[in-house]
Chains A and B, each alone.
Chain A
Amino acid sequence: MTRLFTSTVGKKFVMAVTGAALFLFVVGHMVGNLQFFLGAEALNRYGHFLQSNVELLWTARIGLLVMVALHVWSASALARANRAARPVQYANWKPNSASYASRTMVMSGLIIMAFIIFHLLHYTVKVPAVNLTGKDFNTMTETLTGDSTRHDIYEMMVLGFSQPLVSGFYILAVGLLCLHLSHGVSAMFQSLGLKNHNYGPYLDRAAKLIAIVLFLGYIAIPVAVLLTKCGGCCP
């Protein structure tokens, strides 16, 4: 069973299973985020629901961190072995029908990782220095009936995404994530041996379609914020 962590095929199993878990999170996160369009009440209630259950919140967070750690570990171990397997490069190399996404998985993955760190500092840890607005997201709360307060996520998102640099990085990173998934979502089935000539082509097409849907779903919020802000300032 140690072969799961020592063999190339075993490491691909680890990569595929952790990738699948992270993919499910990415889908859930988008669906949750899209409540932005239902207004402040719906979004803030959802955010409060997630954050108030501390035990489950940390279970989910630790679970995700373990998934990320295993995904990154298997990727870096395999990438090192892959690089070592061809010490002398071709002078004249052609991709030979390898897609752009499949050839750039390591690079898209690294940029996505940098974005995840920024994104956590930005909206989860709420470090004021990285949001470029000069305001502290921690202080944004709304008062409910009966003196209790909850975090005003809606306001935070509007303010956060109104920074073009922040939104730009977000859109770029989400674009790369979707490029990563346009290959990864079908490749994980291949790695786990769950692919054949019958449904393989559908998996390939589904992965591309899912990537496009995720991209549109994710960029909808920053694009909407930027368009509204722009509509406000330029007549």
Chain B
Amino acid sequence: MKITLKVWRQKNANSPGWFKTYQSPALNENMSFLEMLDVVNEELANRGEEPIAFDHDCREGICGTCSCVINGKPHGPHKGIATCQTYMRSFRDGDTIVVEPFRAKAFPIIKDLVVDRKAFDRIQHAGGFISVRTGSAPDANAIPVPKENADLAMDAAQCIGCGACVAACKNASAMLFVAAKVSHLGLLPQGQPERYKRVKAMVTQMDEEGFGACTVTGSCEAVCPKEISLDFIARMNRDYGVSLLKGEPKKIAGGGAA
């Protein structure tokens, strides 16, 4: 099969970008989308042209490095998979495929389809961790965790931080990512001591990075390669509300080792 590729080319963050159209060489329909880009790039390199820069790493849907908006949907046409798990058999011979980078102020373009997603790391650094050592895996039933909480925490922990939620949201909101990270730790006993401090710190950092707010359109959930539920955003909002009600900790005068 052959396809026409309409790709966003941009030298760096400061230069303007534009779409450029390429005809692909003959492709095997069982190639992944990234392998197709590899083949196109090989031809570009042979011609002495600059290859298309794109992010990729594990190529098995677990690292969250690949991105791209393919025909208007982050990670391509299917549900619950990443770009690297999208295969060329999902397209028809002769199709024109439009490939764009994730577009958000908080994800500046580095080159072509590669965007800088360090904003997510900074949100994680603001509170997406447990400050004390939690030790190795505890013995069974040493720390009781309700089954439903364990399941929900596991669902939230599926988030690979790819940023598709931001890319799909009409407001470029990072709420689904932040909600997954807040809920993942907030549902487990080890995460309780910092639960309310965490949600406040992570939401504050999210706002500082310049992500938009949630309009509950549900497009984040629809494009998430790990199918993280919109319910986690409600859970985060709930925790945030409780953290506002609790307020800042009381100042203690004297005492302690000052």
Contacts and interface: CB of A to CB of B under 8 A. Distances in A.
Interface of A: 1, 3-4, 6-13, 78, 81-82, 84-99, 102-103, 105, 183, 186-187, 189-197, 200
Contacts of B239: 193
Given A3-B200, A97-B222, A102-B216, A85 B105 contact: yes
A193 B236 contact: yes
A105 B236 CA distance: 23
A96 B244 contact: no
Contacts of B234: 189-190, 193-196, 200
A1 B244 contact: yes
B122 to A, nearest CB: 16
Contact of B212 (A82, A103, A183, A192): A82
Interface of B: 8, 19, 69, 71-73, 98, 100, 103-106, 168, 170-173, 200, 203-204, 206-207, 210-219, 221-223, 229-231, 233-241, 244, 247
A102 B212 contact: no
B73 A86 contact: no
Contacts, number: 146
Nearest to B242: A193
Contacts of A102: 215-218
A4 B237 CA distance: 12
A6 B221 CA distance: 26
B218 A98 contact: yes
A77 to B, nearest CB: 9
A85 B173 contact: yes
Given A8-B212, A91-B100, A193-B237, A82 B173 contact: yes
A11 B173 CA distance: 14
Contact of B105 (A11, A84, A90, A196): A84
27 contacts: A3-B200, A7-B203, A8-B173, A8-B203, A8-B212, A10-B244, A82-B172, A82-B213, A85-B104, A85-B173, A85-B210, A86-B104, A86-B170, A88-B103, A90-B69, A92-B71, A96-B73, A96-B168, A97-B218, A97-B221, A97-B222, A98-B219, A102-B218, A186-B216, A190-B216, A191-B216, A193-B239
